[in-house]
């Protein structure tokens, strides 16, 4: 038995996949199409005798596959991933540890690829340069050093150079700087898996 | 080169004429996307109901159809499609060309006119 919430999730997943399939279209053309298809689904569900999972899935099937909607929108067939594309997320994530060169190779492959959208390419480039190696370097920079010296009067004078993040800020920054590149890599992996499916 | 796959050929023909079928449906009166999609899918003129929306979007960009919002008893206002003057002219032009095209194909295929209607 499925709840409305489960069916909403199925619809939401369909619309997200459709948005992905139409990602080559400019947003001003893509969004009205998705909006109208969402309205079509709402109207269809209103007219269903039973808004159960089977009926909702049948309704979505009646819309046709993403490829035919994409073709009707004037887009060419989705290209399949090349044999180099699966290496891209690995190189972006860990390539920096290969003397820094691996990340640059991954970056070139990312921008040369026909399967990644402009958004994915920008995310892959800027989160983060150097991948996890870049993160490691970045986290090593904001370190503080304190040196103290005693005076003839017995007092101690300490000087702190550099800077450090307060712990409350530092931990979230650390977590984000590690998690975000992993999320971007996962997004690239998912794109390849979807094209292979 | 002759395509051995008749289904593929018909599919291409269908794609070529479906725009004008939409215009013909709108000639009868304004249409709601959902109902247009159901009608065309039932007539097997579109592969999937979702394909009607990029098609309608293109017709609107070309100025052949326009949209109007109507209040609905069943929820938020709905977008209805109407035929524009350009759309009407395009439809009339297609109708006359289609009649000639159909007659030519029927003649060459050796189909008598009364038998040429698909059941």
- pLDDT one-digit tens code per residue, A82-129: 888 899 999 998 888 888 788 999 999 998 887 888 888 889 888 888
Query: DSSP 3-state assignment of B41?
Result: helix
Spatial distance between the Cα atoms of A40 and B51, rounded to a whole number of angstroms: 12
Asked if B50 has any chain A CB less than 8 Å from its own CB, the reply is yes
Provide, as residue numbers in chain A, all residues whose Cβ is less than 8 Å from the Cβ of B39.
none
Could you say which DSSP state residue B66 is in?
E
Q: State yes or no: pLDDT of B109 exceeds 60.
A: yes
**Does A62 contact B at CB distance below 8 Å?**
yes
Residue A50 has pLDDT above 80, yes or no: yes
pLDDT at B47: 85
- Chain B interface, mutation test: which of A19, A29, A42, A43, most B Cβ atoms within 10 Å? A43
Determine the residue of chain A that is closest to B35 in CA distance: A40
Cβ distance of A40 and B33 shorter than 8 Å: yes
- CA-based nearest residue in chain B for residue A28: B57
A73 with B54: Cβ contact below 8 A = yes
In tens, the pLDDT along A112-171 reads 887 888 888 889 888 888 888 888 877 766 555 666 776 666 677 766 665 566 667 777
Per DSSP bridges, beta strands B75-83 and B65-72 are antiparallel
Q: Name the one residue in this structure whose structure tokens are 């060169």.
A: A101
The answer to whether A33 contacts B53, with C-beta atoms less than 8 Å apart, is: yes
More confident residue, A44 or B76: A44
Of 3.20.20.70, 1.10.10.10, 2.40.30.10, 2.70.160.11, the CATH number of B20-108 is 1.10.10.10
A65-87 mean pLDDT: 83
ipTM of the assembly? 0.84
In Å, what is the CA distance from B95 to each residue of B44, B100, B106, B119? 20, 9, 16, 21
Q: According to the model, what pLDDT value does residue B116 have? A: 47
Contact call for B78 and A39, based on CB within 8 A: yes
In degrees and rounded to multiples of 5, residue B8 shows phi and psi of -65, -40
pLDDT tens digits for range B6-65: 777 887 888 889 999 999 999 999 999 999 999 999 999 998 999 999 999 999 999 999
Q: From the list B33, B48, B56, which residue is nearest A64 (CB)?
A: B48
Q: Rounded to an integer, what distance in angstroms lies between the CA atom of residue A40 and that of residue A173?
A: 43
**Closest residue in chain A to residue B60, using alpha carbons only:** A29
Of A94, A131, A133, A118, which is closest to residue A191 (Cα–Cα)? A118
- Residue B30 contacts A where some CB pair is shorter than 8 Å: no
At residue B43, the pLDDT reads 93
Mean pLDDT of chain A, nearest integer: 83
Q: Which pairs with CB-CB distance under 8 Å and at least 24 residues apart come from B27-30?
A: B27/B83, B27/B88, B27/B91, B30/B68, B30/B80, B30/B81, B30/B82
């Amino acid at each position: 038995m499925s709840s409305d919430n489960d069916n909403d999730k199925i619809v939401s997943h369909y619309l997200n996949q459709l948005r992905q399939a139409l990602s080559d279209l400019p947003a001003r053309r893509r969004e009205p199409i998705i909006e109208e298809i969402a309205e079509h689904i709402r109207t269809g569900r209103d007219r269903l005798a039973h808004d159960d999972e089977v009926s909702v899935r049948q309704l979505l099937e009646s819309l046709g596959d993403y490829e035919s909607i994409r073709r009707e929108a004037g887009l060419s067939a989705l290209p399949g991933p090349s044999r180099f594309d699966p290496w891209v997320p690995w190189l972006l994530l860990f390539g920096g540890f290969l003397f820094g060169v691996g990340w640059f190779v991954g970056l070139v492959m990312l921008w040369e690829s026909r399967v990644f959208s402009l958004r994915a390419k920008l995310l892959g480039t800027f989160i983060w340069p150097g991948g996890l190696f870049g993160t490691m370097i970045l986290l090593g920079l904001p370190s503080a050093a304190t040196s103290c010296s005693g005076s003839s009067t017995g007092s101690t004078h300490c000087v702190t150079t550099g800077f450090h993040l307060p712990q409350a800020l530092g931990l979230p920054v650390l977590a984000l700087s590690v998690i975000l590149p992993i999320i971007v890599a996962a997004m690239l992996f998912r794109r390849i898996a979807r094209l292979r499916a | 080169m002759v395509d051995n796959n008749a289904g593929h050929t018909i599919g291409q023909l269908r794609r070529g004429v479906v725009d004008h079928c939409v215009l013909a449906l709108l000639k009868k009166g304004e249409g709601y996307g959902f109902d247009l999609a159901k009608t065309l899918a039932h007539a097997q003129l579109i592969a999937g109901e979702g394909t009607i929306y990029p098609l309608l979007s293109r017709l609107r960009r070309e100025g052949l159809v326009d949209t109007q919002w109507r209040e609905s008893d069943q929820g938020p206002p709905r977008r209805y499609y109407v035929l524009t003057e350009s759309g009407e002219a395009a439809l009339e032009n297609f109708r006359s060309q289609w009649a000639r095209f159909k007659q030519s194909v029927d003649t060459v295929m050796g189909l008598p006119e009364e038998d040429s209607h698909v059941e």
